[in-house]
Chain A
């Protein structure tokens, strides 16, 4: 039995290592300062000079905006589900079922949905459109991972708040502090999902060789940049796709490690 467990662990580590290694092996040699610090030049996708700074910045814009929007929407949802609704409420279980369903919807469906809405309103693909679709995509992750922790908040904690004369609304200060580690975890998970998502932003954020200067402009994203470069017949350009993937991996890794450090600080006040 123990041997099986070791084997499973080895298998997982092998997969992670082989993905990272194959990406790095092809990507690292091409990764240069020019790649990450300049915009695509003429004929970049056919082997011309330049870099993919547009995609890096575009991805960060979209993920940053979506994360903030997602937090602003999902913290009140979790708060309502756990403080305002009594345990075993019907509305609560319906709402939870609803976001469980949302959780399972593939991102291309969100993309298509966002695209339909945009067409209906006569909008074009833009940074804002991408942000909104990615927000929709990560809200279920936010709500789900925060709700799991919020459900375990000791009732004494809420009662302590009430008995000091807090209104239900004023207990939000207690709740947010108590689930702070979960908020940090949820943010990390969401960033990981959001930054790697290509299908959701394909129709809604579009693609552009420039860095967007307003919310209504189209923007590039790293996953799409990888996708377009991989489609090129030239091996050189295909390898550049791997370089972009290395940058993507690096960003996710940095955010994860940074997030863990911050998380440890957040959890020091938590009541067991």
Chain B
């Protein structure tokens, strides 16, 4: 069923060259937080969070509902800004840039380096082709042939090309949920980010589509560093390389997936893994 996955990213097609690089992204650029605290309307949501997202791995943020997983994820690309009354303290670094203090134009560059796959599949209200081309166009890439190549390359990368190649110019909302989610993934990849944020990206999908997307993430970690919020421990066990366990706004434990799952250092982690609370 997933055979398309194995001829995707490394397919013979050459990666089409893309973005004008105003923002250099060295391979060893890291995403880290130092003493990050977030208050919404005066209530602490994140308390003194220090994490270091490893490169080319899948990092899963786990923890009970309301523990600040999503807020942490949305701090990485500053989508927390859209919340009324939010106050950020501390530092989030991407390479040598502080995401927290980034100005408007720096922010769009940072967001280009950190893609997001939303919780609910949410294509843009345009055709399949334009969904992928949109990001490239706003970053100044134009030219029919260049865009054609980008669209094809990234649709192939998510295994969608064969399913939609005959209807690239039909509305994206006609696709099924799983296809839409892969389209969203392709859309994020098309602007060549280094990091991918996934906010429970498989929770709104049926089991088969969800597995497909999951397998894609595993494939993609070769080229991207993936940070994923997930509610399903089983999914985290299946694909995570690195685990961040959060509880009530604090990072309780962070470490290698094997270690956290099999020999958690903290009692709270053990109780969570045992299903004592969720």
B134 lies within 8 A of chain A by Cβ: yes
Query: Is B120 in contact with A157, judged by CB distance below 8 angstroms?
Result: no
Interface pick from A52-60, A119-127, A263-271: A263-271
> Among B116, B120, B184, which residue has the most Cβ atoms of chain A within 10 A?
B116
Query: Is A156 in contact with B111, judged by CB distance below 8 angstroms?
Result: no
Chain A 143-166, CB-CB to B under 8 Å as 1, else 0, gives 000000000001111111111111
B119 lies within 8 A of chain A by Cβ: yes
A214 lies within 8 A of chain B by Cβ: no
Contacts of B79 in A (CB 8 A): 159, 162-163
- Known A163-B111, A165-B138; judge A174-B125 contact (CB<8 A): yes
B264 lies within 8 A of chain A by Cβ: no
A34 lies within 8 A of chain B by Cβ: no
Query: Is A88 in contact with B125, judged by CB distance below 8 angstroms?
Result: no
* Minimum CB distance partner of A85 in chain B: B84
Query: Is B134 in contact with A164, judged by CB distance below 8 angstroms?
Result: yes
Chain B 219-242, CB-CB to A under 8 Å as 1, else 0, gives 000000000000000000000000
Query: Is B187 in contact with A164, judged by CB distance below 8 angstroms?
Result: yes
Report whether over half of chain B's contact residues are helix, strand or loop; otherwise say mixed.
mixed
B243 lies within 8 A of chain A by Cβ: no
A170 lies within 8 A of chain B by Cβ: yes
Shortest beta-carbon distance from A64 to chain B in Å: 27
Shortest beta-carbon distance from B24 to chain A in Å: 16
B147-195 interface (Cβ within 8 A of A): 171-173, 184, 187-188, 191
Interface size class on chain A is 20 to 34
A233-272 interface (Cβ within 8 A of B): 268-272
B88-138 interface (Cβ within 8 A of A): 104, 108-109, 111-112, 114-116, 118-120, 122-127, 134-135, 138
Query: Is B82 in contact with A86, judged by CB distance below 8 angstroms?
Result: yes
B48 lies within 8 A of chain A by Cβ: no
Interface size class on chain B is 20 to 34
Query: Is B124 in contact with A165, judged by CB distance below 8 angstroms?
Result: no
Shortest beta-carbon distance from B168 to chain A in Å: 14
Query: Is B122 in contact with A160, judged by CB distance below 8 angstroms?
Result: yes
* Minimum CB distance partner of B105 in chain A: A167
* Minimum CB distance partner of A175 in chain B: B125
* Minimum CB distance partner of B190 in chain A: A164
Query: Is A164 in contact with B127, judged by CB distance below 8 angstroms?
Result: no
Contacts of A272 in B (CB 8 A): 173
Query: Is B125 in contact with A165, judged by CB distance below 8 angstroms?
Result: no
Shortest beta-carbon distance from B72 to chain A in Å: 15
A177 lies within 8 A of chain B by Cβ: yes
State the A residues within 8 Å of B (CB).
86-89, 154-167, 170, 173-174, 177-178, 180, 268-272
Additional A-B contacts beyond A86-B82, A154-B122 (17; CB < 8 A): A87-B84, A89-B84, A157-B124, A157-B125, A159-B79, A160-B116, A160-B118, A160-B187, A162-B77, A164-B111, A165-B112, A165-B139, A166-B138, A167-B108, A170-B138, A177-B124, A177-B126
State the B residues within 8 Å of A (CB).
77, 79, 82-84, 104, 108-109, 111-112, 114-116, 118-120, 122-127, 134-135, 138-139, 171-173, 184, 187-188, 191, 197
Q: List 25 A-B contacts (CB under 8 A).
A: A86-B84, A87-B84, A89-B84, A156-B118, A159-B79, A159-B116, A160-B124, A162-B77, A163-B77, A163-B118, A164-B112, A164-B187, A164-B191, A165-B112, A165-B135, A170-B138, A177-B124, A177-B125, A177-B126, A178-B125, A180-B125, A269-B171, A269-B173, A270-B125, A271-B124
